Amino acid sequence: MRQVFWCVLLRDLRLASRRRIDALLPLAFFIVALSLFPLGVGPEPKMLREIAPGIVWVCALLASMLSVGQLFAGDMADGSLEQMLLAPAPAVAVAAAKCAAHWLLTGLPLIVATPVVGLVFNLSTPALLALLASLVLGTPILSLLGALGAALTLGLRSGGMLLILVVLPLATPALIFGAGAVGMVEAGLSAAGHFSLLGALLVATSVGAPLATAAALRISTE
Tens digit of each residue's pLDDT (9 = 90 or more) over 11-29: 888 888 888 787 788 888 8
158: buried, middle or exposed (CB in 10 Å: 19+, 13-18, 0-12)?
exposed
pLDDT band at 49 (very low <50, low <70, confident <90, very high): confident
How many angstroms separate the CA atoms of 193 and 53, rounded?
17
The pLDDT, as a whole number, for residue 187 is: 81
The pLDDT, as a whole number, for residue 159 is: 66
* pLDDT exceeds 90 at position 140: yes
Q: What is the pLDDT of residues 51-63, one digit of tens each?
A: 888 888 999 998 8
The pLDDT, as a whole number, for residue 158 is: 67
Find out whether 84 and 9 touch, Cβ atoms under 8 Å. no
Tell me which residue of 114, 111, 113, 94 sits closest to 103, measured CA to CA: 111
Q: What is the pLDDT of residues 196-211, one digit of tens each?
A: 999 999 999 999 999 9
pTM for the whole thing? 0.89
The pLDDT, as a whole number, for residue 138 is: 92
Q: What is the mean pLDDT of residues 135-164?
A: 85
pLDDT band at 1 (very low <50, low <70, confident <90, very high): confident
Domain boundaries defined on the chain: 2-221
Mean pLDDT of the chain: 86
Share of the chain above pLDDT 90, in %: 25
> By mean pLDDT, which of 39-43, 106-110, 138-142 is the weakest?
39-43
